[in-house]
Amino acid sequence: MTTIRFYLPLFLSLVAWQAAVTAGLAPAEMVPAPLAVFEGLWRLLRGGELLRHVGVSMYRQLAGFMLAAVIGTALGIGMARLEGVRLVFEPLLKLLYPLPKSALIPLLILWFGIGHNSKIFAIFLGCLLPVVLSVYNGSRGIPRWLVWSAQSLGTRPYRLLWKVYFPATLPDLLSGLRIGLALSFTLLVSSEFLIARAGLGFLIQSVGEMGDYAAMFAAILVVALIGFAADRLFVRLMARALRWQEP
Amino acid sequence: MPHIEIVGITKVYEQPAAPPIVALDGVDLTVEHDQFVSLVGPSGCGKSTLLHLVGGFISPSTGEIRIDGRPVTGPGPDRGIVFQNFALFPWLTVRGNVEYGLAEKGIPRRERRKVAQHFIDMVKLTGFEEVYPHRLSGGMQQRVALARMLACDPQILLMDEPFGALDAQTRLILQEELKEIWRQARKTVLFVTHDVREAVFLSQRVVVMTARPGRIKEIVDTDLPADAPRLAVDALAEDIWATLREEVLKAVVPGDRREQAP
Amino acid sequence: MHATPVLRRALGLGVLKRWASVIALFALWEGVCRARLVDPFLLPALSEVLRRGAGELWSGELVAFTALTLYRTLAAFVLAGAIGIAIGVSMSLSAPLRWFGEPVVSFAFPIPKIALMPIFVLWFGVFDLSKIVMTTVAAVVTVISATHLGTRHIDKYLLWSAQSLGTHRRALFWKIVIPAALPAILTGLQIALPMCLIVSIVTEMITGGRGLGGYMIYASRFAESDKVFLGIFLTALIGYVLTEGLAMARRRLLAWHPEETVMV
Ligand SMILES: Nc1ncnc2c1ncn2[C@@H]1O[C@H](COP(=O)(O)OP(=O)(O)OP(=O)(O)O)[C@@H](O)[C@H]1O
Ligand SMILES: [Mg+2]
């Protein structure tokens, strides 16, 4: 209920937009009114086309994101704990850090072609850095007396990783993942705009090229809603996993 | 064979861009099995450092510490500790914290529950089992740390001002509890406190340390009979306080700032 | 053993060790290509890329492309910064603006704004304007939210002490609110700047044509991998210069801030 009230201005804007177009204040050609957009959405949904593209995009996003989460966490903790790992990867990350990740898309297209892999890789590489960096910084700052407590309570060295290092790093890991999550959708749509035969980015472009702007707006709306919903969901999970933290 | 042997211990903290700090300088101390020894001394004299050395968390610059004749090489569940800053696991509830050591020992769930509940009740935290540490007051956190250590049933108890954050009443109750546990379960205890009366009441020997660099100034035998009159406790405490007082006055040096470490 | 640090520094061995893995990676790259273990269409030798780079720079076209990308990125950054700070501060000052702005920002923050590009192309054509607008929109949300966050909860004791020292209510804004929010605002700008580069490169790729993004995507379509790598190097260089420049500005501006001395 409070959520609806909070987002009320957004709904009111939709109404104003509709009114403006109906009153002829904005050209319906260039700015399809909300009702037209919903009609376009219905058209895309009815044919089952939309769901297929959503499926393709979500597969790519999840694959790239999960890969980055797992490998990034391992790498981040490894760098904080093992001098050798840090020596090898720190300079590589420093090199990769200032590079705008979207600049890698042309190379990935060249290497992995038009299908899933070029997108999955772009997302993986883009999300990897924020995850590694936040895990690395987080697990370097673990108070030593937490480790001492665990040791004096009989925790074996190999279990320290799971019993202390992982939970103590979790807040940083999750905030790194949240940054990665937003980035993953940007990279997904960017790479699907550039070259693809399926996926939401492809759908937006193909209906746009046909001049069906209502459907184009609808597909963009779907992308926005998915990105938004994913973030909300993640924030929920995060709050749940970090109940133990001081607010 | 003595339980804990501290032989010629010196601890120097090297720090980047600052002169090294000599925290302990030639400390020798022997603690027999089942003995209760208290450490008193001015703030910053190295009491925590000594406890951390016996715990095996840090290593001495010179000298050696032996437990049952074997040199300490690292931490272990034979030596339980209550840190000065509690060091509870913030991601575990009160119950989770108290059960932690039992779980690491591989004790089955039901058994674990029972033991943990016993100690939670003992430190008067019944009803707070599912609460996370950040919701507890300092005194409550300190009691969780105490329960967490006791539940693990270590041979040696290292306690760094374990009652420091408690109100006077709880403090008295827990002193009695601790004395009872020590009497029944036969533990060796190394106990740091600022409260001389508490030291005299609980322990058999009180070690008075000098201002930094920490050395042992005097060891006082305080093994009073259980039914000793209050006056005897007070008189002994008075004596020790007189010795300690000089050191405390010496220790008040300006600019002695340090990390709020355990 | 104690003389070695001096010796090592003189020989630059410390630097060598610190960057060993990068050097190894580059050496591996060159070696693999020289040994013809990979298709040169997929991975040109590093030396090949550098040679190509020297040639292309000489021709001047690539310099023009780089300048164009830089112009679009910076134009969008300046716009996003000015608009974002203005909106963010206004939201903190006015309840109605907050009522409208907070849900908009909260919705716009996590969505992939690049998806709006086709709309801007529809409205503003395929040239500079659509790219700059797109990039500005993508970055402005971050600036608004950082500014709003920084100005919303100013320590009330700061305001009270300033007032009791004679600061007029209306001067509080410039004297207290902005300096107190500066770390948060700068953090927002530091996130926005690389974002501007990321997005403007993508917009160039999408619409094709001039600029580093267009250069790379064409090279990729014609399988000219050396050009693709050249583009990557140049964007990384721009990214490095821009973020370092802003970080330097931050250290200047925030010399008074206790956090800053620790963070370096
Ligand atoms: N990690 C450390 N690095 C540098 N110096 C330290 C460190 N830990 C302790 N010290 C120094 O060693 C000295 C002894 O510290 P310690 O914590 O053992 O004192 P303490 O007797 O426990 O004091 P208190 O009664 O205040 O707890 C102090 O002067 C402190 O500044
Ligand atoms: Mg201490």
**Bigger pLDDT: C178 or C237?**
C237
Residue pLDDT, tens place only, A142-181? 888 999 999 999 998 889 888 999 899 999 999 999 999 9
Q: What pLDDT is attached to residue A223?
A: 95
- pLDDT of B147: 94
pLDDT digits (tens, 9 = 90+) for B17-51: 888 999 999 999 999 999 999 999 998 899 999 99
| The two three-digit tokens of residue A93, written as one number | 């990350």
Q: Which residues of A touch C220 (CB under 8 A)?
A: 106-107, 109-110
B15 pLDDT higher than 60: yes
Q: Which residue of A has its CA nearest to C218?
A: A106
Q: What's the mean pLDDT in A47-62?
A: 93
Coarse DSSP helix, strand, coil percentages of chain A, rounded to the nearest 5 percent: 80, 0, 20
Q: Cα separation of C261 and C153, whole Å?
A: 24
pLDDT for the residue numbered A134: 92
N-term to C-term CA, chain B: 30
- DSSP state string for B127-172: T-TT--GGGS-HHHHHHHHHHHHHHT--SEEEEESTTTTS-HHHHH
Which protein residues have their CB within 5 A of the ion that is ligand 2? B 48, 84
**pLDDT in the model for residue C204:** 94
CATH code, residues A35-245: 1.10.3720.10
Amino acid at C86: A
Q: Is A91 on the interface with C (CB under 8 A)?
A: yes
Residues 6+ away with beta carbon under 8 Å from A245: A171, B90, B134
- State the distance from the centre of ligand 1 to the C-alpha of A145, rounded, in angstroms: 14
Mutate to test the interface with C, among A110, A185, A213 (most CBs of C within 10 A): A110
Mean pLDDT for B211-228 is 84
Are A100 and C235 in contact (CB < 8 Å)? yes
- C248 and C64 Cβ atoms separated by less than 8 Å: no
pLDDT tens sequence across C63-86: 899 999 999 999 999 999 999 999
Q: Give the ligand 1 atom nearest the CA of B41.
A: 21
Same domain? For C21 and C50 the reply is no
Any C CB within 8 A of A23 CB: no
Spans of all domains in chain A? 35-245
pLDDT at A21 over 90: no
pLDDT value of residue A30:
82
Q: Check if the beta carbon of residue C183 is closer than 8 Å to that of residue C137.
A: no
C92-131 pLDDT per residue, tens: 888 899 999 999 999 999 999 999 999 999 999 888 899 9
Q: How far, in Å, is the centroid of ligand 1 from the Cα of B238? A: 26
Nearest to C104 among A10, A92, A190 (CB): A10
A244 to B85: CB separation less than 8 angstroms, yes or no: no
What is the torsional sign of CA A113, A115, A117, A123?
positive
Proximal ligand: closest to the CA of B41: 1
- pLDDT for C3: 47
Q: What is the pLDDT of residue C53?
A: 83
User: Which residue of chain A is at minimal alpha-carbon distance from C101?
Assistant: A9
Q: What are the tens digits of pLDDT across the range C135-182?
A: 999 999 999 999 998 888 776 677 677 777 767 777 777 777 888 888
Of the pLDDT bands very low, low, confident and very high (cuts 50, 70, 90), residue B252 is low
CATH number for C178: 1.10.3720.10
* Interface A-B: count of C-beta contacts within 8 A: 73
Backbone angles phi, psi at B156, to 5 degrees: -115, 130
As a whole-number percent, the residues of chain B with pLDDT over 90 amount to 53
Distance B22 CA to ligand 1 centre (A): 9
C-alpha to C-alpha distance for C111 and C102, rounded to whole angstroms: 15
Chains contacting chain C through 3 or more C-beta pairs under 8 A: A
Which member of A150, A152, A245 has the closest CB to residue B80? A152
User: Once rounded to an integer, what is the mean pLDDT over residues B75-97?
Assistant: 91
Q: Which one is predicted more confidently, C253 or B23? A: B23
Residues contacting residue C27 through CB under 8 Å, at least 6 positions apart = none
Could you read off the pLDDT of A178-203 as tens digits, one per residue?
A: 999 999 999 999 999 998 889 999 99
Query: How confident is the model at residue C1, as a pLDDT?
Result: 41
Tell me whether 0.85 is exceeded by the ipTM: yes
**A153 CA: distance to closest CA in chain C (Å):** 34
| DSSP-based three-state secondary structure for B208 | strand
CB-based contact (8 Å) between B134 and chain A?
yes
Domain range for residue C14?
1-38
State the ligand closest to the CA atom of B212. 1
- The residues pairing with A204 across neighbouring beta strands, listed in sequence order, are none
Q: Mutate which of A144, A146, A149, A243 to disrupt the B interface (most B C-beta within 10 Å)?
A: A149
Q: What is the distance in A from the centroid of ligand 1 to the CA of B44?
A: 5
Question: Please, which pLDDT band fits residue C9 given cuts at 50, 70 and 90?
Answer: low
Under 8 Å CB-to-CB from C154, ≥6 apart: which residues? C176, C177, C180, C181
B104 touches A at CB < 8 Å: yes
The interaxial angle of helices C178-207 and C128-152, nearest 10 deg, is 160
Assess whether chains B and C touch, using the rule of 3 or more C-beta pairs within 8 angstroms: no
State the smallest CA–CA distance between residue B244 and chain A in angstroms: 29
Q: What is the pLDDT of residue B17?
A: 81
Q: Give me ligand 1 centre to Cα B139, in Å.
A: 22
Query: In this predicted structure, what is the pLDDT of residue B109?
Result: 93
- Which tokens sit at C132? 């700059």
Instruction: Report the C-alpha gap between B213 and B49 in whole angstroms.
Output: 11
Q: Which chains touch B (3 or more CB pairs under 8 A)?
A: A
C26 lies in the same domain as C122: no
Q: What is the pLDDT of residues C202-230, one digit of tens each?
A: 999 999 878 999 999 998 888 888 889 99
Nearest CB neighbour to A153, from listed B74, B104, B132: B104
Q: What are phi and psi of B78, to 5 degrees?
A: -75, -20
Instruction: Collect contacts of C236-240 with beta carbons under 8 A, ≥24 apart.
Output: C236/A95, C236/A98, C236/A99, C236/A100, C236/A103, C238/C66, C238/C69, C238/C70, C238/C73, C238/C197, C238/C212, C239/A98, C239/A99, C239/A100, C239/C194, C239/C197, C240/A98
Token pair of A121 as six digits: 């890789």
Q: Does one domain contain both C120 and C249?
A: yes
pLDDT value of residue C55: 84
Dist CA C199 CA C213 (whole Å): 10
* The pLDDT of residue A63 is above 70: yes
Question: Which H or E element spans position B202?
Answer: helix B196-202
Running DSSP on this structure, what letter comes out for residue C114? G
B58, B37, B42: which is closest to B50 by C-alpha?
B58
Measured CA to CA, the distance from residue B215 to residue B218 in angstroms comes to 9
pLDDT at A225: 95
Q: Contact A170/A146 with Cβ under 8 angstroms?
A: no
Q: What is the number of domains present in chain C? A: 2
Based on the domain organization, do C69 and C169 belong to the same domain? Answer: yes
pLDDT recorded at residue C129: 93
> What share of chain A in percent tops pLDDT 90?
57
Spell out which residues line ligand 1, taking CB within 6 angstroms. Answer: B 13, 15, 21, 23, 41, 43-49, 84, 212, 258-259, 261
Q: What is the pLDDT of residue A97?
A: 82
Average pLDDT, chain B: 88
Q: What is the dihedral of CA B192, B196, B199, B201, to 10 degrees?
A: -160
pLDDT at B123 > cutoff 50: yes
Q: Pocket of ligand 1, candidates B11, B14, B21: which has the most ligand atoms within 8 Å of its Cβ, to mutate?
A: B21
- Give the pLDDT of residue C13: 67
**C238 and C200, same structural domain?**
yes
In chain C, what residues touch A104 (CB-CB under 8 Å)? 232
Do residues C105 and C189 share a domain? yes
Mean pLDDT of chain A: 90
Q: Are residues C114 and C16 in the same domain?
A: no
Residue B260 clears pLDDT 70, i.e. is over it: no
pLDDT at residue B261 greater than cutoff 60: no
Token duo for residue B124: 């008067």
Task: Residue C145: name the closest of C76, C94, C87, C77 by CA.
Answer: C87
Angle of helix A116-140 relative to helix A105-112, nearest 10 degrees, comes to 130
Residue B257 has pLDDT above 80, yes or no: no
Q: pTM for the full model? A: 0.83
- List CB contacts (< 8 A) between A143 and chain B: 87
- Spatial distance between the Cα atoms of A203 and A192, rounded to a whole number of angstroms: 9
Q: Which of B57, B134, B152 sits opposite A148 (nearest CB)?
A: B57
Write b or e for each residue in B68-92: b if 16 or more Cβ atoms lie within 10 A of its Cβ, otherwise e: eeeebeebbbebbbbbbbbbbbbbb
Contact list in B for residue A151 (CB cut-off 8 A) is 57, 74-76
User: If phi over 0 gives left and psi between -120 and 50 gives alpha, with beta otherwise, what is residue B4?
Assistant: beta
* Ligand 1 atom at minimum distance from B58 CA: 1
8 Å CB contact of B81 and A143: no
Q: Counting runs of H as helices and runs of E as strands, what totals does chain C give?
A: 14, 0
